[in-house]
Amino acid sequence: MSPIFNQIISRNQHTERLLIIGLFCGVFVTGADAFIISALLPAIATSLNVAANTAAYGVTVYALCYAIGAPLFGPLGDRFNKRFLLISGCSIFLLGTLLCGLANSLTTFYLYRAIAGIGAALFVPNVWAFIGTYFDGQRLDQVMGIVMSALSLSIAVGVPLGALLAQLGSWHMAFWGSSVLTLFALLILTIAVPPLPSQNIQPAGYFTSFKVLAHTRTPLPPY
Tell me, what's the pLDDT at 165?
Answer: 72
Classify the C-alpha dihedral 47-51-56-62 as positive or negative: negative
Amino acid 223: pLDDT: 37
**How does residue 222 score in pLDDT terms, banded at 50, 70 and 90?**
very low
Choose between 184 and 200: higher pLDDT.
Answer: 184
Q: What is the pLDDT of residue 66?
A: 93
Compute the average pLDDT of residues 60-89.
88
- pLDDT recorded at residue 89: 95
In the chain, helix, strand, coil percent, each to 5?
80, 0, 20
pLDDT band at 177 (very low <50, low <70, confident <90, very high): confident
Task: Write down all domains in the chain, each with its CATH number in brackets.
Answer: 28-209 (1.20.1250.20)
Q: What are phi and psi of 50, to 5 degrees?
A: -135, 170
CB atoms within 10 A of CB 201: 5
Burial of residue 183, with CB atoms counted within 10 A of its CB: 0-12 exposed, 13-18 middle, 19 or more buried: middle
pLDDT tens-digit readout, 24-45: 999 999 988 888 888 888 889 9
Helix segments in 74-105, DSSP class H: 82-100
Average pLDDT value over all residues in the chain: 82
